[in-house]
């Protein structure tokens, strides 16, 4: 069994979060031992983790992308942890407003400075 850490406390609380050491089981047998051999407790904890995984990796991204209930249900039923790759959330594009110039052209230096203000690094193609 591995030893790991876990944060305790809320971010909105005035008290600083604590970090405590906890046991991190690496096998089903070790996880069952953490539950003192209680299979119902083991199954309840597993189901909670499975629900969170399905929601975060499949359900919510598909919902936000506009999938139907039937499509989401099918994907969640067929998902296999460790095998099924989760759905990525669509990345919102970075929109950069370019200034108007008299001649309608932008110099390389101007474009680089505009992009740099938005945290985008440019490099020369080789």
Please give the share of the chain, as a percent, with pLDDT higher than 70: 94
Is residue 62 one of the residues assigned to a domain? no
**Three-class DSSP category at 21:** strand
Is residue 9 one of the residues assigned to a domain? yes
**Is residue 96 scored above 80 in pLDDT?**
no
**Is residue 88 scored above 70 in pLDDT?**
no
Is residue 11 one of the residues assigned to a domain? yes
Q: Give the Cβ contact number of residue 5 at 10 Å.
A: 11
Is residue 12 one of the residues assigned to a domain? yes
Is residue 3 one of the residues assigned to a domain? yes
Give the residue numbers spanning the domain of 2. 1-34
Instruction: Find where tokens 């790759």 sit.
Output: 85
Is residue 1 one of the residues assigned to a domain? yes
Is residue 56 one of the residues assigned to a domain? no
**Is residue 83 scored above 80 in pLDDT?**
yes
Diameter of the chain measured on Cα atoms: 76
Structural domains of the chain, count = 1
Is residue 72 one of the residues assigned to a domain? no
């Amino acid at each position: 069994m591995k030893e790991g850490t876990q944060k305790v406390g809320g971010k909105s609380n005035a008290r600083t979060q604590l970090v405590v050491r906890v046991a991190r089981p690496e096998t089903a047998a070790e996880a069952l031992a953490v539950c003192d051999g209680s299979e119902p407790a083991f199954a309840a904890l597993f189901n909670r983790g499975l629900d969170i995984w399905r929601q975060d990796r499949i359900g919510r991204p598909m919902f936000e992308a506009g999938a139907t209930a039937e499509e989401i249900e099918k994907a969640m039923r067929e998902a296999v942890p460790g095998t099924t790759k989760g759905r990525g959330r669509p990345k919102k594009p970075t929109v950069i407003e370019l200034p108007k110039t008299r001649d309608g052209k932008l110099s390389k230096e101007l474009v680089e400075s505009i992009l740099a203000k938005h945290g985008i690094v440019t490099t020369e193609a080789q």
